[in-house]
Amino acid sequence: MKNKKGAMELSMTTIIIIILGVTLLTLGIMWIKGLGTQLIDTTDSAFGISQDEISRLGLRDQKVYVPQVNKEISIGENEKFTVYVQNFLGVSETFSINIQGNAKDWFQTVQPTEVPSGETFGFPVVVNVPSTGSAAGSIEIVTIRVLKSNGELYGQEAITIEVTE
């Protein structure tokens, strides 16, 4: 009888070890997956920032510059980016941003801003893709126009917005 009880205890210990092993393995896989997701997000962010900085180096001879003109935005989400305006007029000028296109209502920007001669100003722009009336997979082309204080066009840049789920 004692042998049978010992065999039963051994199998219970084995089962407990197997359950603990599977639990720890599952937790470890979830932890590694979480780290991988964070690493991908951090890498994407770093590449985006470095691309913006490299692109700004080429800004020297452009009146208007928008980094990453192709944007992917999910339905109901928003994205913030900067429109850079360089004043080559020789005098201070007040510039404003004007959006043209079917999706112009999605955009928000700051009030007109005075930019000293020879300086660059980054206009913050926010795109809000509405949760209703937007179809996943649709592409909107929008023209960002920079106007002088008298309403005259100073420069423009076109961007595309791909709506995703």
Predicted local distance difference test score (pLDDT) of residue 54: 66
Q: In terms of DSSP H, where are the helices of the chain?
A: 2-57
| Percentage of the chain modeled with pLDDT above 90 | 55
Integer Cα distance of 163 and 77 in angstroms: 10
Predicted local distance difference test score (pLDDT) of residue 14: 84
Q: What's the chain's average pLDDT?
A: 87
Torsion of CA 58, 62, 63, 67, to 10 degrees: -50
Predicted local distance difference test score (pLDDT) of residue 88: 92
Q: CA angle, 81 as apex, 78 and 86 as ends, to 5°?
A: 155
Give per-residue pLDDT as tens, 52-64: 676 666 566 789 9
Integer Cα distance of 163 and 126 in angstroms: 15
Integer Cα distance of 49 and 60 in angstroms: 18
**Residue with the larger pLDDT of the pair 6 and 29:** 29
CATH class of 62-164: mainly beta
Buried b (16+ CB within 10 A) or exposed e, 1-39: eeeeeeeeeeeeeeeeeeeeeeeeeeeeeeeeeeeeeee
Domain map (residue ranges) of the chain? 1-61, 62-164
Give per-residue pLDDT as tens, 83-126: 999 999 999 999 999 999 999 999 999 999 999 998 989 999 99
